[in-house]
């Protein structure tokens, strides 16, 4: 399918609009619209198939070290090899353009027990054409071959939509449509998305599908969405933390689904809720440097509009019987514990009184939980990589095991929460640990996951015969 600049402009408008483009659609609607890998079972041997892979990994010395994302791709790649497809894996490593997928290609070869060549210098951005040499290498590959394109973020086009607005699309649409069409013509016309963590607006995930004849989700990605992700939609207790205040949007959307009854919060998100609760209850509190306008350029700063958002959330939540539990003491920058922050202080962890309060509320949740109760844990409580500020996170990890042993389904949202579980506990202490924290929040939050929106749009476009 050839995509025109005007079509790609409309396509991008939809992606950039997020939830506003289709306010009535939920995660389930996107999942039901996108085909699974088995839908491609009729693709003939020798067909080139593009696999947007979860290749952002740093393989260690041996299999099992730093390659969990690569191992998650094995079933999909094995499925394609069994059918004799020529699979071209592509994606990024890190955020820097100079990063290389050479070690990733080598590890995929070890995992698949075959040679996996790395194809370099595959795109000429000046002319926006894909190398004829690379196209010939793919065409000459034997059925069952697996090849890897070098780091997509070496090319500006991959990052073109990161900060784009609708006003930028007239200048971008020609290049983006050319890129998508070149990819379809010289790489592949069948596309599999097997990169659960690829939640950014990368062109490889959001633009390439526009020119594909057929698209599907990979086996691992689909299993994560169809299984544990769907169960998280039924969460009754959510443990939410982190430095980024925009997580407030995700929590707000999760609460709106109507299943959450208990919120345990820490980090910047908790500071916003704490301030809101104080103002609502006539007990004002100070958030220290987090509310000082002089620190407005810092990631921990909480602007007034976020406090107002938190007040609305708490008011609405309380009316629905939701309990919000926020810190009652904090560890500050010198390692000491204070009950109330002063204007010149910053919180780096929850204090022991808060840990005790959280444990009490977990116990109450366990006592009141019905069979099949679900808890979702995201983030860490402080700067846990520093021993001075790890106590809150370290102590709470044991509560995950406590809930699991009591029959609660416990899901950990990956990212730092997953690292903390690995550091202070064991994956066996919970029901499931996601490998993509940002994507999980995106999926459970307000806006659609960009690649799911793109895959759905590709299916609708192909079905309509555009």
Residue 427 falls inside a structural domain: no
Q: How far apart are CA 74 and CA 55, in angstroms?
A: 12
pLDDT at site 435? 81
73 & 212 share domain: yes
* 231: in domain: no
Q: Are residues 195 and 318 in the same domain?
A: no
Kindly state whether residues 208 and 348 are assigned to the same domain: no
Same domain, 219 and 244: no
Query: And the tokens for 96?
Result: 């820097």
Q: Note whether 10 and 81 are same-domain residues.
A: yes
Mean pLDDT taken over the chain = 93
* Total of domains in the chain: 2
Judge whether residue 388 has pLDDT over 80.
yes
The region of weakest confidence among 125-134, 248-257, 270-279, 280-289 is 248-257
Please check whether residues 145 and 275 belong to one and the same domain: no
- pLDDT (average), residues 425-451: 87
Are 156 and 293 in a shared domain?
no
Decide: 329 and 303 in contact? Cβ < 8 Å. no
Q: Domain for residue 396, yes or no?
A: yes
Q: Are residues 311 and 219 in the same domain?
A: no
The 10s digit of each residue's pLDDT in 277-313 is 999 999 999 999 999 999 999 888 999 999 999 999 9
Distance CA 414, CA 321 (A): 28
Q: What is the pLDDT of residue 465?
A: 64
Whether residue 438 is predicted with pLDDT greater than 80 in this model: the reply is: no
Specify if 103 maps to a domain: yes
215 and 246 within one domain: no
Percent of the chain with pLDDT over 70: 99
Is the separation of the CB atoms in 390 and 330 below 8 Å?
Answer: no
Q: Give the pLDDT score at 183.
A: 98
Is 413 part of any domain? no
DSSP 113-172: TS---EE-S-EETTTTEE-HHHHHHHHHSPTT-EEEE--GGGSGGGGTTSS--GGGHHHH
Query: Is the predicted pLDDT of residue 398 greater than 70, yes or no?
Result: yes
Share of the chain above pLDDT 90, in %: 81
Enumerate residues 6+ apart whose C-beta is below 8 A from 27: 225, 229, 230, 233, 443, 444, 448, 449, 452
Per-residue pLDDT at 464: 80
pLDDT at 466 over 60: no
Confirm whether 442 is domain-assigned: no
Domain that holds residue 261: 237-368+370-407
For the entire predicted model, the pTM comes to 0.90
Strands 237-240 and 190-194: unpaired
- Rounded to 10 degrees, the C-alpha dihedral 64/65/67/71 comes to 0
Terminal alpha carbon distance of the chain: 8
pLDDT tier, 437 (very low <50, low <70, confident <90, very high otherwise): confident
Identify whether residues 16 and 52 lie together within a single domain: yes
Mean pLDDT of 424-437: 90
416: in domain: no
The residue among 384 and 401 whose pLDDT is bigger is: 401
CATH number, residue 350: 3.40.50.1260
Are residues 181 and 299 located together in one domain of the fold? no
| Domain identity same for 222 and 241 | no
Residue 421 lies inside a defined structural domain of this protein: no
């Amino acid at each position: 399918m050839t995509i025109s600049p005007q079509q790609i402009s409309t396509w991008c408008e939809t992606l950039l609009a997020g939830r506003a483009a289709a306010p009535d659609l939920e995660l389930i609607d996107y999942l039901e619209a996108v085909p699974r890998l088995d839908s491609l079972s009729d693709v003939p041997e020798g067909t080139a198939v593009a696999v947007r892979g979860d290749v952002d990994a740093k393989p260690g010395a041996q299999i099992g070290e730093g390659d969990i994302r690569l191992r998650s791709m094995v079933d999909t790649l094995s499925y394609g090899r069994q059918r004799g497809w020529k699979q071209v894996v592509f994606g990024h490593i890190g955020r820097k353009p100079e990063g290389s997928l050479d070690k990733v290609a080598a590890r995929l070869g070890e995992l698949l027990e075959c040679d996996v060549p790395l194809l370099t210098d595959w795109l000429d951005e000046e002319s926006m054409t894909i190398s004829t040499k690379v196209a010939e290498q793919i065409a000459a590959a034997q059925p069952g071959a697996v090849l890897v394109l070098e780091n997509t973020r070496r090319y500006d086009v991959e990052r073109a939509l990161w900060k784009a607005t609708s006003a930028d699309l007239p200048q971008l649409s020609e290049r983006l449509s050319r890129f998508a069409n070149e990819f379809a013509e010289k790489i592949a016309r069948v596309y599999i998305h097997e990169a659960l963590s690829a939640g950014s607006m990368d062109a490889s995930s959001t633009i390439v599908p526009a020119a594909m004849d057929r698209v599907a989700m990979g086996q691992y990605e689909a299993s994560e969405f169809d299984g544990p992700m769907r169960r998280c939609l039924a969460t009754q207790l959510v443990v939410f933390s982190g430095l980024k205040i925009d997580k407030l949007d995700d929590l707000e959307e999760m609460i709106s689904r109507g299943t959450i009854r208990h919120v345990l919060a820490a980090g910047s998100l908790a500071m916003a809720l704490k301030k809101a609760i104080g103002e609502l209850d006539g007990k004002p509190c100070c958030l220290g440097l987090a509310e000082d306008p002089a620190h407005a350029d810092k990631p921990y700063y909480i602007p007034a509009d976020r406090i107002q958002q938190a007040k609305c959330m708490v008011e609405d939540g309380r009316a629905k019987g939701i309990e919000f539990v926020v810190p009652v003491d904090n560890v500050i920058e010198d390692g000491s514990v204070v009950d109330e922050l002063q204007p010149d202080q910053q919180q780096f962890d929850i204090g022991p009184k808060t840990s005790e309060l959280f444990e009490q509320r977990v116990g109450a949740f366990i006592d009141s939980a019905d069979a099949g109760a679900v808890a979702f844990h995201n983030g860490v409580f402080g700067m846990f990589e520093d021993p001075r500020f790890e106590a809150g996170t370290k102590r709470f990890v044991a509560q995950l095991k406590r809930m699991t042993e009591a029959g609660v389904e416990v899901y950990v949202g990956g990212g730092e929460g997953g690292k903390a579980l690995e550091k202070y506990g064991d994956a066996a202490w919970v029901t499931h640990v996601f490998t993509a924290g940002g994507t999980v929040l995106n999926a459970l939050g307000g806006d659609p996951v960009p690649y799911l929106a793109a895959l759905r749009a590709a299916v609708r476009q192909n079905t309509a015969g555009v």
